[in-house]
Amino acid sequence: MWFGQVVSVSGDAIFDVALLWLVLTTTGSVFLVGITQAVIYLPTVIVAPIAGVYVDRFNRQIAMVVSNVVQGAVVATISFLYVIDELPFGVLLVLIFALYSFSRFFYAATRATIPRLVEDRGNLTAANSLFSLTASFNQFASYAFGGLIVALVGVVLPITYDSVTFFFAALMFMFIPKHLGEVSRDTGLNALPPKGSFGADLREGLRYFVSSRLLIELAILAAVVNFALGGAFALLAPYARFWVSGNASTYGFILAAYSLGLFSGAYFVGKLRSVREYVGRLQFVGVFAMGALLVLLGLSIEQLVSVTLFFIFGFVLSVLNVPLQALYQAKIPQEVFGRVITVIVALLSVAQPLSAVISGDAATVFSIGDLFVAFGFIALSASAMGYLAFRELRTARY
């Protein structure tokens, strides 16, 4: 599972650079970049809960294989249609939606499988850190390389490479023993998957979520923060080109610095077993720090300064997310994990498509720097008010 993901992430990172740069350079529209980013976010809200029910009903190993095969086919289609000059913007959006929809099945399946492989809860942070660490370092190298490749040879080669990595990852996941993908209601490998209709299973995930004050508090805080982050990241390619006067390689280096920060943060937090004792308070400190960094990014017009700030941003985000994943895995029962975690992710992400569209439209009136500053103040306010209001989250531990 680890090796397949390492290969796949390298392709995803290069594809990320190529995709939004393709939209920006072919359309010249910051608004359409925002629309594209909104479509990327949308499956997390719409498809994720459905994917969660699926991976709680069927074998998760099979879900990992199939989702990668389909994603590889979709990316190959994007590359082919672009080469023959038959890729209108509307068709591209449909293919992007399909691509990121199937990625939600993969996300749910992998997150639900990791706890099956880790017997000691105290090692959940280390296990999640391993996946985050390698993915982030991989992204660091691939974003930097991808930016250079796009600048030198265009987008076809990077997109084609991504399709190949999906097929390779699917091959790797086929070697995972199938019994590790089975869903059980206890620690036995022969327990039966949950019964009931598809709709009943989806409602069960929603019921578990609304019964947990901790999860509700997390969702409220994260929805506001993700509104800010979604809007800022939707403007990242235009930020690189217009605000700091760069090109595709600048965009790649910004993403690479961000990923190196994720890598460093995952390594740092993976060494801190004591983080489980203050994971709740850590969320508020980290959100406050990210808000401050967004303000500074909006004020900076120097490429080197911005690259450095994105490194710090990635570090902070990783220090937040790795223990948070472990908190979810420790608190949510295995038999409902897939549907509950995808409901959480959907609710956390519901504001991102909206913020991507708003930011793309607002960039026609306000400067990109002004929007980064505004999103930063939203995160700062959410941190301060959340700390005062959310007692369960403030005292959370696992």
pLDDT at 12: 84
The answer to the question of residue 207 being in a domain is yes
Residue 349 C-alpha from the chain's centroid:
10
pLDDT at 192: 40
pLDDT at 189: 37
The answer to the question of residue 233 being in a domain is yes
Gap between the Cα atoms of 223 and 229, Å rounded: 10
Asked if 301 and 243 count as a contact pair (C-beta separation under 8 A), the reply is yes
The answer to the question of residue 185 being in a domain is no
The number of domains in the chain is 1
Gap between the Cα atoms of 308 and 274, Å rounded: 28
The answer to the question of residue 184 being in a domain is no
Asked if 346 and 45 count as a contact pair (C-beta separation under 8 A), the reply is yes
The answer to the question of residue 388 being in a domain is yes
The answer to the question of residue 350 being in a domain is yes
Residues in the chain: 398
pLDDT at 197: 63
The answer to the question of residue 191 being in a domain is no
Asked if 97 and 114 count as a contact pair (C-beta separation under 8 A), the reply is no
Q: Tell me the pLDDT tens digit for each residue of 323-342.
A: 887 788 777 876 777 777 77
The answer to the question of residue 88 being in a domain is yes
Structural domain for 138, as ranges = 2-176+199-394
Query: What's the CATH code of the domain at 232?
Result: 1.20.1250.20
- pLDDT tens per residue, the chain (398 residues)? 888 888 887 788 788 888 888 888 888 888 898 899 889 988 888 887 788 777 777 788 888 899 999 999 999 999 999 989 888 999 999 999 999 999 888 888 887 777 777 766 667 767 777 777 777 776 777 777 777 788 787 888 888 988 999 999 999 989 988 877 776 554 443 344 445 566 676 677 788 888 889 888 988 898 888 899 988 988 998 999 899 998 888 888 898 898 889 888 877 877 776 777 888 888 999 999 999 999 999 999 999 999 999 999 999 998 888 788 778 877 787 677 777 777 777 777 778 888 988 998 898 889 999 999 999 999 999 999 999 999 998 988 87
